[in-house]
Structure 1
Amino acid sequence: MNEPAFTLVQLRYFEAAARHLSMTAASKELMVSQSAVSTAIAQLEKEMGVQFLLRHHARGLSLTTAGEAFYKRVLDFLAHGAELVEAARQSGTELVGTLTVGCFATLAPFRLPGLLAEFEARHPQVHVSLREGAHQALKSALRSGETELALLYGYDLDDDIDRQVVGTATPYALVSEDHRLAQRKNRKVSLQDLADEPMVLLDLPHSREYLQSILSNAGVEPRVRHRTTGYETVRAFVAHGHGFALLNQCPPAETTYSGARAVPLTLTDDVPSLEIVVASMRGVRLTRRAQEFRELCRTLYER
């Protein structure tokens, strides 16, 4: 049986067209003619004997089922092809190149700065390109190949996404410094203590459902007074007496951007912590850069 005779150029052209779902956009990115992209992909499909892309007049492209599977393999192939070149240039002694990492928005300010500083100190020839965003956007970035890894919470991850637990985040309550519950010496509170209090909700997809479910599971009906997608806005609203909040990440300083203090309180209820995970696409072999980054996440969180 003869081996397929495809070229790296054909694979790169296909990857760009599949990612953009547009021959025009791919040609602009690659700085070649649209006909060159179209011809290369047609030759690739002919050589493989499979149609990967469906052409829709005036509506761009769509991937066939075979095309979707092939696209994931091509991402893996190109990533490791680049790594092979880098390894040859560096005689396999040093990690080099670019690593793209996504991070959930509320985790980023707490976890990324120290993590990135440590990684860059260990691997100065690796450039880490960061993408901060919401949960759904990060899953999409993993599937499209825009990021190789994503640091996020371990909920709502589908079967096509692998995850390695690297830490946990325990929920806590937050009140203003003059709140009656802030006066407790042990700074501990039950969810029932908050039953009649208005709530300031971190209104992010999945986060809001998770935070409200903590109260509901304890028999407390959340009374949401304000909603905001900003983590620090939640803290500032609480500090000025607009209600309490439930959060997972706790900064070392109680002073908010507004200058007022928001006091964290430990929950006495048996509330499960959220897993923090490093996610990647299942079946896609990670580059050495990604493997080292994931391992560093694990070791730093365990300290």
Structure 2
Amino acid sequence: MRHFTLKQLNYFTTTVETESIVEASRKLHIAQPSISTAIKNLESSFGQQLLIRHHAQGISLTPSGRRFYDKAKELLRASHEFEQNSLADSDIVSGKISIGCFESVAPLYIPKLTAGFKKMYPGIEVQLHDGQQHEVMAGLHRGQFDLALLYDLEIDNSVRKEPLNAPHKPYALLPENHPLALKESVTLEELSQESMILLDVIPSRNYFLNIFAEKGLYPKVAYTSPSIEMVRCMVGQGQGFSILVTRPCNKMTYDGKRLEYVEIEDDMESSMLIMAYLKTDEPTKPARLFMDYCLSTNLEPSS
């Protein structure tokens, strides 16, 4: 019988995912020799070389190591599911959920959801991670997150989706004193005559530019930023317009300028906020409780 521990498997899989024992050490807050020893013990126990060590260039997997990694991830997922479901079955509901959220929508929705959920289930620990969509999806596939909250744009078929709100069209973001801000609605053609401040994160960037391109319109992009608040501040200072889906409740920017949200007349693809989880992994009971709470909460953006 081969002897190994879940801790060894965790050290091994983290090393593979970070491509370096040094980075795995930083991520796990474990000394490098401990990680190296754990991996060597796995190789010795199973009689296989799992990793190729490259001096000062990290590691790579052997063919056996790739198969071992896939099985190790499967076992760690099963262990995590067993642990969390068992905790949720106790008299005092407890457990842990790790949630990845698209950074543009995280401030608007996540604090409200976690605050309400913690009041109902104080024994469940909620870990939050926000980032760009490709980072959130990568974390979901690596088993780093139980759930992901993001817009239903450019999502592959490896996940199951549950809608969090109804589909919404993008709106035009304009400075308070702009002539177009005085109208009840605007057209894409009108907007295309102005300079654009573009939210430069994938998939938002492609989504917003394609809205114009499908009409044969190509506005001049004056500035780009991955920060939604930077985009809002640039618009507030009269540097151009922007298009967004996320609709903060406060129309004031960080630097005290007022914005206006104006509806767009043109037909276009709507966007919807979703919860996503891997088709291959059923949500744990704590994750399911969080999903049920989210579905019972009104997340419609305010006007």
TM-score (norm 1): 0.85
Shift of 1:16: 4.1
Q: How far 1:9 sits from its partner (Å)?
A: 4.9
Aligned partners of 2:251 and 2:258 also within 8 Å: yes
Specify the alignment match of 2:139 in structure 1. 141
Secondary structure of the residue aligned to 1:300 is coil
2:257 to 243, 255, 260: 260
| CA distance 1:42–1:29, shift in 2 (3 Å) | farther
Matches within 5 A, 1:208-219: 208-219=205-216
Mapped to 2, the partners of 1:154 and 1:73 lie a distance apart of 27
Contact 1:10 1:44 in 2 (8 A): no
Taking structure 1 as reference, are residues 225 and 140 closer, same or farther at Cα in structure 2, changes over 3 Å only?
Answer: same
Please say if residues 72 and 284 of structure 1, whose CA atoms lie closer than 8 Å, have aligned partners that are also in contact: no
User: Is the aligned partner of 1:224 residue 2:225?
Assistant: no
Q: TM-score, structure 2 length as denominator?
A: 0.85
- Which residue pairs with 1:78 in the alignment? 79
Residue in structure 1 matched with residue 41 of structure 2 by the alignment = 40
Corresponding residue number in structure 2 for 1:165? 163
CA–CA distance in structure 2, aligned partners of residues 278 and 52 of structure 1? 39
Tell me whether 1:108 sits opposite 2:99 in the alignment.
no
Taking the aligned partners of 1:285 and 1:35, their CA distance within structure 2 comes to: 32
Is the deviation greater in 157-166 or in 95-104? 157-166
Question: Quick one: which amino acid aligns to residue 221 of structure 1?
Answer: Y
CA shift in 2, pair 1:258/1:33, >3 Å: closer
Q: How many residues align?
A: 292
Q: Counterparts in 2 of 1:1-303, with a 5 A limit?
A: 7-22=5-20, 29=29, 33-34=34-35, 36-42=37-43, 45-46=46-47, 53-58=50-55, 59-63=57-61, 64=63, 65-83=66-84, 86=87, 92-167=90-165, 168-184=167-183, 187-301=184-298
In 2, the alpha carbon distance for the partners of 1:151 and 1:247 equals 17
Letter in structure 2 aligned against 1:147: F
Q: What is the alpha-carbon distance in structure 1 between the residues aligned to residue 97 and residue 49 of structure 2? A: 27
Q: CA deviation at 1:39?
A: 4.2
- The answer to whether the 8 Å contact 1:154/1:275 transfers is yes
How far apart, in 1, do the equivalents of 2:158 and 2:115 lie? 30
C-alpha contact (below 8 Å) 1:142/1:280 kept by paired residues:
yes
In the alignment, structure 1 segments of 5+ residues that lack a partner are none
Deviations 1:181-231 (A, max 9, x none): 2222xx211112213111111111221111111111123212111112221
Q: Tell me the SS of whatever aligns to 1:277.
A: strand
Asked whether the 8 Å contact 1:76–1:285 carries over to 2, the reply is no
Query: By how many angstroms is 1:302 displaced?
Result: 6.6
Task: Kindly state the Cα deviation for residue 157 of structure 1 after the two structures are TM-superposed.
Answer: 2.2
The 2-side partners of 1:69 and 1:78 are apart by 14
Pair 1:95–1:197, CA change in 2 (3 A): same
Deviation string 1:104-130 (CA, Å, 9 cap, x unpaired) is 111011111111111111110011111
Change (3 A) 1:79 1:222: same
Structure 2 gap segments, 5+ residues each: none
- Flag the 1:203–1:61 CA change in 2: closer, same or farther, 3 A: same
